[in-house]
Structure 1
Amino acid sequence: MNTDKLRTVQDWVSFYRHEFGLPVAERGGFVMLPVTGKVGVLHLPVARAEMVRDALRQQRRSGPMLARQIRWSFLVEPDSRPGEQILTALNRLDIGIPAIGSAVMLPTGLGRWTREGCHWVVPPARELQLPPLSMLVTTALAVGNMSED
């Protein structure tokens, strides 16, 4: 599909649904991806997110990554919810896991500059499987420990 012809938020909703199979909806004039039992999100500060991206590349794994000014959002498969100890460690590191029922805004453009102030580092793709949340949490904690050594 030629993304240059996508003009409206509804065009982008259709694009994300048909091209990538994402359960997006228009809300308040924006494309919103709800956090569900099948699609989750992990928010990371930029420096740690870049290290996670690099670690995933070394493992030949990847998943959709959305960049904002102060954090990146990784789309994940919510395979399990971390326990209290892990959640406390994640909170200390400013790593967030939005709850089911919340939503993340997606860009209405595939370039670097969008009206939403975010862009895809790795855009979604039908053949690109979402990485398990547990793997990303483990990687996010590990890369931080490696950089502190």
Structure 2
Amino acid sequence: MKPRLGQIIMTASSRLTSVTMPAELGARVRRRLQQDGTPIGPIALLTRSIRWSFLVQPDIVLDTSTHAALFRLYVSVTKPGTTIVLPAPTDTHLRSWLHLEISSE
């Protein structure tokens, strides 16, 4: 946490990272996860760029072709060691939570 800046931050790791994509694609991903009964973790809305950021446990290694395919869809996967800024009560104009708990709803 960086109280002076009003930010909540975390560092991406091999246990937790983020996958960020355009909101329209994010909505389709969430719908598909719900249809499949897959648990959905926290989802943040990045309000200025209109993107969704899913917090996930990484379970695949991104090879070059997968990374290229995601890049073409404007999807980014945060690499371990990278700072992830999370929504904070004082930061609602930049980020907010769309879905906070882990559920299979």
**TM-score normalised by length of structure 1:** 0.60
Aligned length: 98
Of 23, 27, 30, which residue of structure 2 is paired with 1:53?
30
- Map 1:21-40 to 2 at 5 A: 25-26=1-2, 29=5, 30-40=7-17
Flag the structure with more relative contact order, 1 or 2, with Cα contacts below 8 A and sequence separation at least 6: 2
How much does 1:28 deviate?
A: 6.1
Listed as ranges, the gaps of 5+ residues in structure 1 are: 1-24, 130-149
- Map 1:62-73 to 2 at 5 A: 62-69=40-47, 70-73=50-53
Of 42, 50, 55, which residue of structure 2 is paired with 1:75?
55
Question: What's 1:19 paired with?
Answer: none
How much does 1:26 deviate?
A: 2.5
**TM-score normalised by length of structure 2:** 0.82
Of 84, 92, 101, which residue of structure 2 is paired with 1:114?
92
**Identity, % of aligned positions:** 26
Q: Which has the higher helix share?
A: 1
Evaluate the alpha carbon distance shift between residue 28 and residue 87 of structure 1 in structure 2; reply closer, same or farther with a 3 A threshold: farther
Q: Which amino acid aligns with 1:26?
A: K
Q: Which has the higher strand share?
A: 2
Evaluate the alpha carbon distance shift between residue 28 and residue 44 of structure 1 in structure 2; reply closer, same or farther with a 3 A threshold: farther
- Which of these two proteins has the greater Rg computed from alpha carbons? 1
* 3-state SS, counterpart of residue 63 of structure 1: coil
In structure 2, distance between residues paired with 1:28 and 1:101:
22
Q: Deviations over 1:60-110 (max 9, x none)?
A: 22111111132110001012222111101111111001111112211223x
Of 58, 64, 71, which residue of structure 2 is paired with 1:84?
64
* Cα root mean square deviation, aligned: 1.9
